[in-house]
Amino acid sequence: GYSAIAAGLAGTAWCHAVLGASWRLGVRDQDRRVLVTPGPYRRMRHPIYFFQAVILAGVCFLYPSWLSLGTIILHQLLVRIKTRDEERHLEALHGPIYKEYKARTGALWPKV
């Protein structure tokens, strides 16, 4: 459990470092950023959400309960709603470049 939490936190920090100035809390139409595709974004479009799930899985291993399991399920539902919004925004912003990126990457799980 502790290893999963540590890996999830390290992965999240990696994502933030790769995003740099492109990191945002939410979608804003006035943001005109480059499409970030290196590092963890090379194989999946939403690696921060992936690493959050890894952290939650670690917590679930350490504190197995219906509450921790419910938290993982709720997180996945909310993330799916959020990614739809983000994907629409990125498709409108980057057009065919994003569609090609979307075709070669996984959303919440690495595509190999």
Model's pTM, two decimal places?
Answer: 0.85
Neighbouring residues of 83: CB distance < 8 A, sequence distance ≥ 6: 45, 46, 49, 107, 108
Closest alpha carbon to 67 in 78, 56, 55, 77: 56
pLDDT at 6: 98
Residue 104 CB neighbour total at 10 angstroms: 11
Dihedral class, residue 30 (left if φ above 0, else alpha if ψ from -120 to 50, else beta): alpha
The amino acid at residue 84 is R
Question: How does pLDDT run along the chain (112 residues), one tens digit per residue?
Answer: 999 999 999 999 999 999 876 655 555 555 557 788 999 999 999 999 999 999 999 999 999 999 999 999 999 999 999 999 889 988 988 899 999 999 999 999 988 7
